Amino acid sequence: MDYDRTAKPEVETTAERVAVVCSDRILALDLQMMLSEAGYEVVEVPSYDALATPQSSVSSAVVDIGDKPEAAVTALLRLATANIPHVILSDEAQELPLSLSGEMLRGTLHKPIRVDELLPLLGQSVPPQRVVRRMP
């Protein structure tokens, strides 16, 4: 049996996987950076239709209602059905259907998003030395 001494053992990651779906590319990149810095493994979801599929295997999701509210609402209902906790991002003017307020909804944040508001909804506290950034 050949043994490769240069091969590194596989290390199982313990980072929680968070799905991020946004129609705004800049917001998606900001969320990805913010969550990665907080220790999450970020899974960028290309569309609302791809969110909460059985192969997604994420522990939670951050969903921006954005400019496609109907598609976002459908995706959020799929998240609730799959028992995936989620946080909704919206503009203050956007009204959300009451059907979205189930037990899997961890909170709704209005833009601009602050890291010290988002992380507790995902179950993590903000380190005291962390500088709070506001996202556009």
Q: pLDDT: is 55 or 33 the higher one? A: 33
Residue with tokens 């998606």: 28
The span from the CA of 13 to the CA of 92, in Å, is 37
Give the torsion through C-alpha atoms of 25, 53, 48, 95, to 10 deg: -120
Binned at pLDDT 50, 70 and 90, residue 14 comes out as: low
Residue 9 has pLDDT above 70, yes or no: no
Q: 17-121: which CATH topology?
A: Rossmann fold (3.40.50)
Look at residue 35 and tell me whether its pLDDT is greater than 90: yes
Domain ranges of the chain: 17-121
Is the confidence at residue 92, as pLDDT, over 80? Answer: no
Calculate the CA dihedral of residues 58, 34, 30, 70 and round it to 10 degrees. 40
Average pLDDT of 95-104?
Answer: 72
70/4 Cα distance (integer angstroms): 53
The model's pTM: 0.76
Collapsed DSSP state (helix, strand, coil) of residue 50: helix
pLDDT digits (tens, 9 = 90+) for 46-88: 888 887 665 568 889 999 988 888 888 888 888 888 888 999 9
Please report where in the chains the tokens 């919206």 appear, as a residue: 90
Indicate the SS3 state at residue 60.
strand
